[in-house]
Amino acid sequence: MLGMFRKVNAKERVVGFYSTGPQIRSNDLRIHELCKRFLPKHCMTPPVFCIIDIRPDRLSHPTTAYKVVEEVSTKGGQREVKLSFAHVPSQMGAQEAEEVGVEHLLRDINDPTVSTVASLIKGKISGLATLTEKLVECKDYLETCARGECKVNPEIVANLQTILNLLPNLNTEDMVRSMLIKTNDMYMAIYLSALIRSVIALHDLINNRIRFGEYGTDQSESDEEKKEEVADNDTASKKDDKTAASAGAPKKEEKKK
């Protein structure tokens, strides 16, 4: 099977295995030991374990990569060496042929009901949802370290401290006043746009009523039909008068005789 893979995808290289997770399980270490048997000799790179999250409600990056590292833990005064997964930075990309194919497919996708404002709001909502997910993950990690169930990683703690130090101070009077002014301006723009949109919709409704009437028929077409009916009635009445006149003429001649 590996030989057939090499024939089809000669430039690709297998670097590990994947799972749909969405969390790391105990059997993943056993699968890692099984994959190590197929590594070529003198290979120093361990197999990479990738979790692909297939849940539809996930808005962030769907893949997470890990590698196996050795950690020393002390339990009961004895030092033990155990294997655990460490995060590996990963990035998703595509080949040139795949990018061209995706761009060609996206040209035919055009949803006129979705405006640019709606897409911007959707992007902001997805970004806030991703931020909430990351904050909950940080909270769970810190609570696990506080309970002693997980070893404290100094790099993660230093990154969290840097994030907290970069947060702005929102308790100042100038900041609160500027935020209120900005919020009021945004609400005023939203109110005016909604009011203008309602007025335009009412004007369109009145124009449609004037043109089509209450029953949804075009008034101009109905007027033309009425004119045609009146013209037909006039021609029919003229024909009847002519036929009546032609029928009355011989009777008068008979009376003269």
From residue 203, alpha-carbon distances to 5, 192, 212, 220 in Å are: 66, 17, 14, 19
Average pLDDT, the chain: 78
Kindly state the average pLDDT of the residues 200-223. 74
What is the per-residue pLDDT across 135-154, written as a single tens digit (0 to 9) for each? 998 899 899 888 888 888 88
Beta bridge partners of 65: 50, 88
Return the amino acid letter for 171: N
What is the per-residue pLDDT across 1-27, written as a single tens digit (0 to 9) for each? 667 777 777 777 778 888 887 888 888
Contact call for residues 83 and 70 (beta carbons, < 8 A): yes
| The dihedral sign for the CA sequence 95, 99, 100, 101 | positive
Q: pLDDT tier at 247 (50, 70, 90 boundaries)?
A: low
- Which residues touch 223 (CB under 8 Å, ≥6 apart)? none
Kindly state the average pLDDT of the residues 201-221. 74
pLDDT for position 255:
47
Contact call for residues 33 and 68 (beta carbons, < 8 A): no
Kindly state the average pLDDT of the residues 156-183. 87
**Tokens standing for 14?**
């297998």
Q: Is pLDDT above 80 for 126?
A: yes
Length of the chain: 257
pLDDT for position 15:
82
Other beta carbons less than 10 A from residue 123's beta carbon: 10
Question: In terms of Cα–Cα distance, which of 49, 48, 54 is closest to 20?
Answer: 54
What pTM value is reported for the model?
0.47
Question: In terms of Cα–Cα distance, which of 29, 13, 31 is closest to 68?
Answer: 29
pLDDT for position 240:
61
Contact call for residues 13 and 5 (beta carbons, < 8 A): no
Q: pLDDT tier at 130 (50, 70, 90 boundaries)?
A: confident
pLDDT for position 188:
93
pLDDT top residue among 198 and 111: 198
**Tokens standing for 42?**
């003198």
Beta bridge partners of 68: 85
